[in-house]
Structure 1
Amino acid sequence: MSLAVMETVSGGDTPDSNPLLRAWQELDVPEGWRAEIIDGEIRLMTPPSRPHNFIAAKVSRALLRSIPETWDVYQTLGLRIDSLGDLYVPDLVVIPDSAMLDDGADLPCSAEDALLVVEIVSKSNGDRDRRTKLRGYAHGLVPLYLLVDRWAEEGPSVTLYEDPENGRYRRHTTVPFGAKASLPSPFGLELDTSDFPDAKQWK
């Protein structure tokens, strides 16, 4: 579930002059909630469910085993999509230490610094992750977008989107829950999804 708390019309603001971004930085967000800027609105996202957190923990653990010590996995990190004026807080993002420690530490990271983003679809906000954020991450030049979808119409699945160009991902691969999802170099990871709970197991 999401709630719109503020909206405005963006006019090509730079990150440090964007009024929505300034408002986002000043929000007092309740513990466990997330605030994002989507299509010109600040939206509050309610805390995720237990199955959602379970999957996030499994994916995070697998990623941590596959990345070098100079990268890390974050769960509450805002990513700017400067070309759209949006800001997302993905369920997981892999980003290098150098991007976290650069001179712009007072601003959220640029999506261009991310190496991989993971979103786990919630029942009430599926279109946001499947369409809005898919387009946003492609515009932000995030090289790999992993979408874990318990609620997909064709059955629970994991889709990896690759090769962003002109606001679209040129390739994607989908596997059902229970199969392994292959993440290419520099990860070289076969993500085991056999423990992922589908919509029938946990609501």
Structure 2
Amino acid sequence: MTAAMVEHDTAPGRRSWDYLLQAWRELDVPEGWHAEIDEGQIVLVPPPHRHHNGIAAALHRALNKALPEEMEVYQTLGIHIAALDKLYVPDVVVAPREAVDDVAPDSTDPLDAAEALLVVEITSQSNAKDDRTKKLWAYAHAPVPVYLLVDRFDEHGPTATLFSEPQNGAYKHAERVPFGERFVLPVPLGATVDTGAFPG
């Protein structure tokens, strides 16, 4: 990740967040990149490896087969973690279609993370630590009911870890499988995901 230079706003609290959010909305990001807000600054995230995109596509297919009609799978959807003044752009988000569609046509507002049902982060070498720690903590605080961490760079080999049941800023349950095994997302998501379909 590379931090973008944004003029510092000295006003505390909401005004500082509002300034960052406005700058985020107006930022001209290079094609394939996306911008996030973390720790009081705008961060530019470079395009991922093709295997990263292949995993996102495989997850998208598995989810589409199982989701109820009122839910949808989104990629590159900005989500705001209001309690922490963070804005992330996960690799995959499942949310009620109504929560995403029910905004003005010209709106650039991110989705409130508390409305997401599932958030997926797929690690890259440059951000694996953040996905394992900082984002895990943030999504639990949102709270996002289910966080799936697809860790291509786990020290024990590629793994997928499903975190669920957020309580007091931490997930109570974690299920970890190596690539090649299957796992089932909790209801109402209900999809069976075969990590053997993940590239690399």
Could you state the TM-score of these two structures normalised by the residue count of structure 2? 0.91
Q: Could you tell me which residue of structure 1 aligns to residue 143 of structure 2? A: 141
Once the two structures are superposed, the pairs formed by residues 169-180 of structure 1 within 5 Å of their partners are 169-180=171-182
Q: Distance in 2 between matches of 1:146 and 1:117?
A: 6
Give, in whole Å, the separation in 2 of the partners of 1:58 and 1:150. 14
Count of aligned positions? 196
Q: Does 1:4 align with 2:3?
A: yes
The residue type paired with residue 141 of structure 1 is P
Contact 2:4 2:41 in 1 (8 A): yes
AA of the residue aligned to 2:190: G
Supply the RMSD in Å over aligned alpha carbons: 1.9
| Cα 1:88–1:10 shift into 2, 3 Å | farther
Cα distance in 2 for partners of 1:33, 1:6 equals 16
Displacement of 1:69: 2.0
Q: CA deviation at 1:10?
A: 8.2
Corresponding position: 1:119 with 2:121: yes
**Which one-letter code corresponds to 1:101 in the other structure?**
D
8 A contact 2:67–2:190 mirrored in 1 = no
Structure 1 match to 2:18? 18
Relative distance call for 1:144 and 1:11 in structure 2 (3 A) is farther
CA distance in 1: counterparts of 2:73 and 2:147, whole angstroms: 14
Query: C-alpha distance in 1, partners of 2:23/2:81?
Result: 16
1:153 is aligned to 2:155: yes
Q: Distance in 2 between matches of 1:10 and 1:195?
A: 49
Structure 2: gaps spanning 5 or more residues: none
Q: Name the CA distance, whole Å, in 1 between partners of 2:147 and 2:78.
A: 15
Q: Which amino acid is the alignment partner of residue 70 of structure 2? A: T
Provide the C-alpha distance between the structure 1 equivalents of 2:37 and 2:30, rounded to a whole number of angstroms. 16
Unaligned runs of 5+ in 1: 199-203
Residues 92-120 of structure 1: per-residue CA shift (max 9 Å, x gap): 00011121133574421100010101110
For the Cα contact (< 8 Å) 1:10–1:85, is it kept in 2? no
CA distance in 2, matches of 1:102, 1:14: 26
- Judged with a 3 Å threshold, the aligned counterparts in structure 2 of structure 1 residues 143 and 94 are, in CA distance, closer, same or farther, namely same
d(CA) in 2 for partners of 1:48, 1:147: 15
CA distance in 2, matches of 1:54, 1:21: 30
Q: For residue 52 of structure 1, give the secondary structure of its aligned residue in structure 2.
A: helix
CA distance in 1, matches of 2:50, 2:108: 32
1:51 is paired with a residue of what secondary structure? Answer: helix
1:87 paired with 2:87, answer yes
Give the letter for the 2:23 counterpart.
A
Q: Name the counterpart of 1:201.
A: none
For 2:80, the aligned partner's letter is: R
Cα distance between partner residues in 1 of 2:68 and 2:190: 12
- Residue in 1 that maps onto 2:46: 46
User: What amino acid does structure 2 have at the position aligned with 1:177?
Assistant: F
Alpha-carbon contact 2:65-2:191 (below 8 Å) kept: no
Match of 2:99 in 1: 99
